[in-house]
Chain A
Amino acid sequence: METVNEIRTEKTEAKNFLKKLTKIREIALIFIIVLFSIVLSIANPVFLTSENILNILLSISITGFLTLGMTVALIAGGFDLSVGSVTALVGIIAGNIFISTENIFLALLVSLLVALVMGSLNGLLITIGGLNPFIATLSIMGIARGLVYIISKGAPMSLMKLPEWLKDIGRGHLFGIPYIVIIFFIAAIIFHILLKYSRQMRKVFYVGSNEDAAYFSGINPNKIKFFVYLMIGFLCWIAGVLAIARFKSASPTFGTGLEMTAISAAVIGGASLSGGEGTVFGSTLGLILLGIVSGALVLLGISVYWQQLISSLVLLIAVLMDSIIERTKANKRI
């Protein structure tokens, strides 16, 4: 009987250890973020001022919506390269319609429809068209960016006449915190809960984990994937609208490279490119880390040309650490 008890305790210990291991990602990220902040504030005391912190948060909030979408896409076993250009397209179309009609509701409605159409196109190409998400979303990325240039003729448009309420969303504060930051964090919390606890999102995990097995459990993988890309279209619309509200302009080059930032953030946060894994909490921490890194470059007076290189290094180190941890966990194939 004693041996049975021994095995029991051994098992619970192992269980706790395992639980820690699975949480290690978020904990490690928080640790790294804190460490970075301490080092940076020693290097430059400005870093820890609330103004600077809010600046960093503001800088990641719009990309944040794309990261939310990307996290879900990765969990479903795909990804979406078109998010940056669809966001730009939303801004340009809304801006264009607003300038010619002065009707902001029409502008918002049409841009919403366009974003949803782009999302659906991704979804249809991947499900019914049977295309690889890389090819499908790469094409839509090009098409959306192309439309941006055609509509804008390559010139940015100033939207100073936007209605006050929209401008307020872009520049307003609540207790000193920009509305945009608040909106993003509320969205992130809602997404975190949905991803963890909702039925629909659970189906996304099943599909990403094993599409065939999902089908054999009565789930329609194509429906789920279509839903995912449609939802990403919607998130791009929010990002696009917040961007014009914040900058009071729409630029044809807006959002270039944001898809990579979103993928990096999600992957740093624990999403897997092979599907079935990822959390909003992790992705958000990943995004904050990337935001701190680029903010730090500015503060430390390092040329912005370094930014890409350093962000990529952060990504590389994160995934490398992860792969090593995974392998020691499985203790095989050294």
Chain B
Amino acid sequence: MEVSEDLLNEPILKIQNVSKSFPGTKALDDVTMDLYGGEVLGLCGENGAGKSTLMKIISGGLQKDSGKLLYKGEEVAFSSPRDAHLNGIGIVHQEIINCPELSVAENICMSVMDKNPKGFLDYNWMYKTAEEYLSRFNVEINVKEKLSNLSISYQQIVEIVKALLLDCSVLIFDEPTAALTEDESEKLFAIIDELRKNNIGIIYISHRLEEVFNNCDRVTILRDGQFIDTLNIKDVEVKTVINKMIGRELGDFYPEKAAGSDEEVLLSVRELTNKPSFANVSFDLRKGEILGVSGLMGSGRTETARSICGLDRKQTGSVFLEGKELSIKSYKDSISEGIVYLTENRKKEGLFLEMSITDNVSAMSLGEMSGKILMNKSLEIENTDRYCKELSVKYSEKTDKVGTLSGGNQQKILIAKLLSVSPKIVILDEPTRGIDVGSKKEIYTLIRALVDRGVGVIVISSDLEEIVGLCDRVMVFHEGTMMGDLTDKDITESNIMHMASGIAKGSNL
């Protein structure tokens, strides 16, 4: 064999017997895997499988307990993310980490400040560089805008662009599309393809297996911190990957749809308006149906939900619960009427990261969990136990801080918090964002069970496949107005897309 070919076939990154423990958890257990230059390697595993932990170790954000990292044939141990950058390893983190008070351009150029041709801060250079990279996504983002004024999807794009700027030989994407729209995701895949052609090694993490199958060359599977298998995408079926991820057969992904909904209306909304977000929204939620809400980001879906719950103010319109008109002035009123909302922004608006699992689960049901003055701890623990079991939350102790749980388990804690108040209507905004297939299925089953119990459920989602698979009826929003709804056979991705982009109207309007 020739030397040059040997070099060509040498992996750019070798991970050998890496282990890592946190207090109470073994996050990685003797993991060995390789990454080649010019390939896109998918990394799959359930929530808490250790994917992010492994990526943080590779990119200098965490230190491994034992094992070896070989990069371009040499053993390395990066002491900090910056150290990893300088050596050509970049990462787009699962959790958006940025400086919300700085401008888009300043955020993008943060880690390449020293590439600035002049010694001092050259804003023109920063603006130009930022614009140039953002143009690849074809989005209109003003680079002078304060980052916190951007939507989550745009903030995610900024994160990605920040990493693209680094000139890496290894680039890691940890669930980059969780907050992106379909369109933006497509752009990202085009960029990833370009990177691959430039012989860059790419690790791609996603719970959307479709993406992994469409864009990766190989897929590595982790389960409970252990390496399970690496497979060529070409020779493998989705089902095999899922089975390896969860260690058993998954069965049907979506629960069976409702046979036909009751006529009984649980919630009706009439002419709800809050300009400029949305106007004249009217709909009924019937008993026994899962009502899906689709639409592009910024189309007014979330804002409508928030107004119904008293989280945002409404200008005009009315909301009826079981035929009775409600006057909801705050979210507290809404909760006591039994209408609850699951936020799409888990970290910022959902979790108390520094507080325990139990504290998080009880946050909404303090009244039920206490006497006149004092909290009833045993009731709290009982309640937490019950829902953690029902939702199969994985944790080591109930006193653990929620911040140490994996993304999917954090989401389950939020759902447990909602269920603790025994709600009548549950509005779920992106309920499965960043959640693994196994847990997704559990959540779908749970949603169906809630509906069967007589609870009204509205699911807002950007994941079209999920909307189509799960919902009995779908409303579509376009630029703050309702385009109508779809039922039965009409619920297809293409119908929804047409309505969401404003081209077609639904049957019932």
Residues of A at the B interface (CB closer than 8 Å) are 7, 11, 14-15, 17-19, 193-194, 197-200, 202-203, 205-206, 209-210, 212-220, 276-277, 329, 331-334
Contacts and interface: CB of A to CB of B under 8 A. Distances in A.
A188 B341 CA distance: 38
Given A11-B396, A15-B24, A329-B23, A210 B353 contact: yes
B373 interface: yes
Contacts of A218: 330-332, 334-335, 364
Interface of A is mostly: helix
B366 A199 contact: yes
B375 A198 contact: yes
Interface string B344-382: 000011111111000100111011001001110100000
Contacts of B374: 193, 197-199
A7 B24 CA distance: 9
A127 to B, nearest CB: 15
Given A216-B341, A217-B364, A276 B352 contact: yes
Contacts of A11: 24, 396-397
A162 to B, nearest CB: 34
Contact of A213 (B63, B335, B351, B362): B351
B506 interface: no
B417 interface: yes
B349 A15 contact: no
A209 B341 CA distance: 20
Contacts of B63: 331-332
Contacts of A209: 352-355
B303 to A, nearest CB: 15
Contacts of A215: 311, 331, 349
Nearest to A210: B352
B62 interface: yes
B396 A333 contact: no
B341 A199 contact: no
Interface of B is mostly: loop
B255 interface: no
A18 B23 contact: yes
Contact of B363 (A194, A206, A276, A334): A206
B61 interface: yes
B23 A203 contact: no
Nearest to A21: B23
9 nearest CB pairs, A to B: A217-B363, A209-B352, A14-B24, A199-B370, A218-B335, A218-B332, A197-B374, A212-B349, A217-B364
B80 interface: yes
Interface in B41-70: 61-63
Interface string B379-399: 000000000000000001101
A209 B331 CA distance: 19
B351 A210 contact: yes
Nearest to B333: A218
Contacts of A15: 24, 396-397, 399
B417 A217 contact: yes
B62 A332 contact: yes
B343 interface: yes
Contacts of B397: 11, 15, 18
A194 B375 CA distance: 9
A199 B373 contact: yes
Nearest to B404: A330
A278 B367 CA distance: 23
Contacts of A217: 363-364, 417
Contacts of A332: 61-63
Contacts of A193: 374
A278 B378 CA distance: 22
A144 B345 CA distance: 42
A205 B355 contact: yes
Given A205-B359, A277-B354, A18 B24 contact: yes
B396 A212 contact: no
Contact of B396 (A14, A202, A210): A14
Nearest to B366: A199
A205 B61 CA distance: 29
Contacts of A198: 370, 373-375
A219 B360 CA distance: 13
A280 to B, nearest CB: 15
A216 B343 contact: yes
A206 B352 contact: yes
A218 B142 CA distance: 35
B454 to A, nearest CB: 22
27 contacts: A11-B396, A15-B397, A17-B23, A193-B374, A194-B373, A197-B377, A199-B370, A199-B375, A200-B373, A205-B355, A206-B363, A209-B352, A210-B352, A210-B354, A212-B349, A213-B348, A213-B349, A215-B349, A216-B311, A216-B343, A218-B332, A219-B363, A220-B330, A277-B354, A331-B63, A332-B62, A334-B79
Interface in B284-316: 311
A332 B363 CA distance: 30
Contacts of B343: 216
Contacts of B377: 197
Given A15-B24, A218-B364, A329-B23, A276 B354 contact: yes
Contacts of B79: 334
Contacts of B396: 11, 14-15
Contacts of B62: 332
Nearest to A332: B62
A76 to B, nearest CB: 13
B61 A213 contact: no
A216 B350 contact: yes
Contacts of A14: 23-24, 396
Nearest to A334: B79
B80 A333 contact: yes
Contacts of A18: 23-24, 397, 399
A277 B359 CA distance: 13
Contact of B375 (A202, A210, A334): A202
A189 to B, nearest CB: 14
Most chain B beta-carbon contacts within 10 A, residue among A212, A216, A277: A216
A334 B364 CA distance: 37
Nearest to A333: B80
Most chain B beta-carbon contacts within 10 A, residue among A18, A198, A206, A213: A213
A198 B370 CA distance: 8
B84 to A, nearest CB: 13
A21 to B, nearest CB: 8
Most chain A beta-carbon contacts within 10 A, residue among B23, B311, B377: B23
A14 B363 CA distance: 27
A181 to B, nearest CB: 26
Contact of A216 (B61, B331, B362, B399): B331
A19 B335 CA distance: 34
Nearest to B369: A199
Contacts of A216: 311, 331, 341, 343, 349-350
A220 B332 contact: yes
Nearest to A275: B354
Contacts of B370: 198-199
A209 B360 CA distance: 11
Contacts of B332: 218-220
Nearest to B331: A218
Contacts of B311: 215-216
Contacts of A197: 374-375, 377
A333 to B, nearest CB: 7
A282 to B, nearest CB: 16
A16 to B, nearest CB: 10
A4 to B, nearest CB: 11
Contacts of B331: 215-216, 218
